Chain A
């Protein structure tokens, strides 16, 4: 029993760690898409943020400088997407695909030109250059307490600051989206921009805000990958997480609290896939890792098809808004 709780706390803790980039990226997509701008470029924005933050953290030796650089890089890509979608009234899917391609190409090219290590950034060795786990008061001693001890030590305590920020971003998003005037206007812009325009509010301004918030959050997501979870940047290190976040967004039906739950579920699946690799489960035999890895995608396809519930995207999503001329 004790053992079971301790190992459950460990699995849940690694699930939480794997969900952090998903939570940031999923909320990023939520802000953008609720404002009516589809964003399949989450993956790309995370990737540039991961690269920029690792490069800046290694140059400065300070993880916070890294975070700043990651956010700036992600914002630049977000603004390019915003310009194409809002100003140029271009196709948002195409623009998002361009963001992903550009990010994949640029990080590898520039990384190789700067460091000559096949696109890798130097290993972050200095303690201050990474976000490291923070032990909460009494976490070591509390471990001895039955049941609550391991949960407190492994699940509540010991994560880095970005993990707690990710968990904080959910209530903040929910509050801003549902309890503020800005949130109401943003949601209205995603459903019926003409009505927002009639009310004298700038659709352009609201949509840019959504895109910028998305860029900011992707900056956190990418920084977490290279400066929190790992100690440096590897080419293609996002490995489809941006698309899992997109799937989570659909699965959560574009709402913040379900987004958190979905990201935790997908993080748990990821942790389980790592844990179950090569081990036999009683009654089922050996589960192929790929089957668990495929689950988030299968669940999303099934949900999107309306077989369990119905996922309806914001009505004006993907459609450029043209003011009457």
Chain B
């Protein structure tokens, strides 16, 4: 049922409109500015897609983990540590030509993100640790680790800012403007870069991997029923670690877009909560790559349009985006079953066998206490 997330999002935006009205701003006007600011100009669209790039990466990370029955709250930390991987490659690989250095930086981000996610995965698989709590703890560990490294190790001597040295110019991911100019299309200057294409390619790759390969089938089986997976000769422990590692690698994509695409140096807190947007995006996109891409676009609009809105309306700050985000998570995630049962009643449709109408997430995500056999 595609209607469920649509209804949930409408409800979330409705509630967001009430908040906007409550602080004394005309919600229709706000909506107009939001859409105009995000889609009304080439520049706005560029920023929208640039934000969407981050959300596609984190959304795919959370969605892939969902398919394996895992709730990965740690995309934020994985993206952050992924930034360390990309930065180390860029800072030490200045002698390499761009066509080797940039893929190496992408790989660095993916490997570091994967490693940071694989540890909670392994702890759940081998020691039965609750993955939600472990990934929350790993977010904070990532934040303290990176703060330490940036202040004490990576910061050039004499520099006041807690950030790394600038990367060599050959490490910069080409901007979309340059690429489009090469094709003879004029585009405004925005932070949008080729990472957007990488994100779309990842979405396609995740779809092929999860629904068209043997390993993907194993992941979905473990997500639905780990005991059945054992019966079928699949090792849930191995699949759990693999799923988390891939999830973390996808989250590392944020570092590619932000660190090597725009900032050209490693910064404190460059992930700015995008890992948590990934949860909203994955819930709204129902754990499917296509849904994730569409939801990311909507959130990209919200971020870009929200920034424009905050600029024009002094009463509204960018924090309003976080409110809408919370509402989307609440309506599309927590109250999803309510919408679903309501719709089923409306259409007098019978729920599928074994489907109690609670949630559409794989069984083990719904029951986070579930142990891996």
Q: Do A and B bind each other?
A: yes
B-binding residues in A (CB < 8 A): 38, 40, 80, 84-85, 87-95, 97-106, 108-110, 112-114, 116, 119, 235, 240, 243, 246-247, 250, 288, 290-291, 293-294, 297-298, 300-301, 304-307, 313, 315-320, 322
Q: Which residues of A contact B144 (CB under 8 A)?
A: 290-291, 293-294, 297
B161, CB-defined interface residue at 8 Å: no
Q: When chains A and B are docked, how far (Å) is the Cα of A73 from the Cα of B222?
A: 40
A-binding residues in B (CB < 8 A): 19, 23-24, 71, 73, 123, 127-130, 132-134, 136-138, 140-141, 144-145, 147-148, 152, 276, 279-280, 283, 314-317, 319-327, 329-330, 333-338, 356, 358-359, 361, 365-369
Q: Which residues of A contact B324 (CB under 8 A)?
A: 105
Do A315 and B283 have beta carbons less than 8 Å apart? no
Do B148 and A109 have beta carbons less than 8 Å apart? no
Supposing A80-B330, A119-B317 touch, asked if A104 and B369 sit within 8 A by C-beta, the answer is no
Q: 9 tightest CB-CB pairs across the interface, nearest first? A: A105-B322, A101-B326, A102-B326, A105-B323, A108-B319, A95-B334, A94-B333, A98-B330, A113-B23
Q: Nearest A residue to B128 by beta-carbon distance?
A: A306
Do A317 and B23 have beta carbons less than 8 Å apart? no
Taking a contact as CB atoms closer than 8 A, the residue among A105, A112, A300, A313 that contacts B315 in the complex is: A112
Taking a contact as CB atoms closer than 8 A, the residue among A99, A106, A246 that contacts B19 in the complex is: A106
Within the complex, what minimum Cβ distance (angstroms) separates A53 from chain B? 19
Q: Which residues of B contact A298 (CB under 8 A)?
A: 137, 141
Q: When chains A and B are docked, how far (Å) is the Cα of A84 from the Cα of B140?
A: 27
Do B326 and A105 have beta carbons less than 8 Å apart? yes
Do B319 and A290 have beta carbons less than 8 Å apart? no
Do A291 and B279 have beta carbons less than 8 Å apart? no
Supposing A80-B330, A90-B336 touch, asked if A109 and B128 sit within 8 A by C-beta, the answer is no
Q: Nearest A residue to B15 by beta-carbon distance?
A: A102
Q: When chains A and B are docked, how far (Å) is the Cα of A180 from the Cα of B356?
A: 35
Do B148 and A89 have beta carbons less than 8 Å apart? no
Do A94 and B283 have beta carbons less than 8 Å apart? yes
Q: When chains A and B are docked, how far (Å) is the Cα of A38 from the Cα of B71?
A: 14
Q: Which residues of A contact B314 (CB under 8 A)?
A: 116
Q: Which residues of B contact A98 (CB under 8 A)?
A: 326-327, 329-330, 333-334
Do A95 and B319 have beta carbons less than 8 Å apart? no
A-B contact pairs, 27 of them (CB 8 A): A38-B132, A88-B335, A89-B359, A91-B361, A92-B368, A93-B73, A98-B326, A98-B329, A106-B19, A108-B319, A109-B317, A109-B320, A113-B23, A246-B133, A247-B133, A250-B133, A298-B137, A300-B137, A301-B134, A304-B127, A304-B129, A305-B123, A306-B128, A307-B127, A316-B369, A317-B369, A319-B367
Do B129 and A305 have beta carbons less than 8 Å apart? yes
Q: When chains A and B are docked, how far (Å) is the Cα of A147 from the Cα of B282?
A: 59
Q: When chains A and B are docked, how far (Å) is the Cα of A116 from the Cα of B316?
A: 10
Q: Nearest B residue to A299 by beta-carbon distance?
A: B137
Within the complex, what minimum Cβ distance (angstroms) separates A111 from chain B? 9
Q: When chains A and B are docked, how far (Å) is the Cα of A315 from the Cα of B130?
A: 12
